[in-house]
Amino acid sequence: MPRTALLDAPATTALRMEDVVLTFPDGDGRVTAVDHVSLSIDRSRSLAVTGPSGSGKSSLLAVAATLARPEAGQVWLETRDGVVDLAAVNPRRAAELRRDEIGIVFQQSNLIESLTAREQLEAMAWLGSRPSRARRRDARERADELLGVVGLAAAADRSVGALSGGQRQRVAVARALMTEPSVLLADEPTSALDSESGQVVMDLLLSTAREFEVALMLVTHDATMATRCDAQIHLVDGAVTKATGR
């Protein structure tokens, strides 16, 4: 995919959070899961979110994924229709944005066992609409292209039950890229894998972020993985205690 014409273009911010606060009910009170966090990620760049268990990493990612609505702050996402504040959209629009504009990869690949690797990806293009014949063909082409990118072209027709954990996670990364999202959100995507498969998935996340000009937000408790990202924030009790990189 030639992208050279864009090399000199100024970087665009795909995701920007401003002073985000998210709390959950906790007994008689509330627990602050995200405590006045601000961050931004440009397209093609990566941000690692680190911190101990319970520090709010997944909560922060859930806000960026529209899976949790913050009670304060703004979450600006670059979409095909311009910049949208995820903190202010209604649930229906949030679901559309999740489907069309946001790629998400979790610790478990959450693939559908009965489908082949290619069908997992094609299914993304069918969500929410009845596909025309042309769209089906486009979906198949993009699915095959992405399976090639993640090194699984030869496994396109295999059911995911026949794939290893690392291969499944590579399918999950390819699936997350199907709708050409501006951001790719990954929550501990390698923590269920052995270190070698984990490295492969990490390499893939970083290389696809650059190749497809996607902003990558990577939640990890693995310091080695985190240092491979362009920037890092460290959370303690929901608040940023350290920020490195640009």
* Of residues 34-63, those binding Mg ion (CB under 5 A): 57-58
In this structure, are strands 13-26 and 29-42 parallel, antiparallel, or unpaired?
antiparallel
- Please give the single-letter amino acid code of residue 176: A
| Residue 205 CB, nearest approach to ligand ADP (Å) | 18
Angle between helices 133-149 and 117-126 (to 10 degrees): 130
| Residue 55 binds to ligand ADP (criterion: CB under 6 A) | yes
| Residue 208 binds to Mg ion (criterion: CB under 5 A) | no
Choose the binding region for ligand ADP from 50-58, 75-83, 109-117, 162-170 (rule: CB under 6 A).
50-58
Closest CA to 158 of 149, 174, 147: 147
| Residue 69 CB, nearest approach to ligand ADP (Å) | 12
Among 54, 131, 165, 245, binds ligand ADP (CB under 6 A): 54
- Please give the single-letter amino acid code of residue 215: A
| Residue 190 binds to Mg ion (criterion: CB under 5 A) | no
Would you say 54 or 245 has its CB closer to ligand ADP? 54
Q: Can you count the helices (H) and strands (E) in the chain?
A: 7, 10
> Which residues on neighbouring strands pair with residue 13, listed in sequence order?
42
| Residue 223 CB, nearest approach to ligand ADP (Å) | 15
Give the pair of three-digit tokens for residue 214: 């996607």
| Residue 51 CB, nearest approach to ligand ADP (Å) | 5
Contact code string over 57-86 relative to ligand ADP, x by CB under 6 A:
xxx---------------------------
Are 98 and 65 within 8 A, CB to CB? yes
- Please give the single-letter amino acid code of residue 59: S
Could you list the residues that contact Mg ion (CB under 5 A)? 57-58
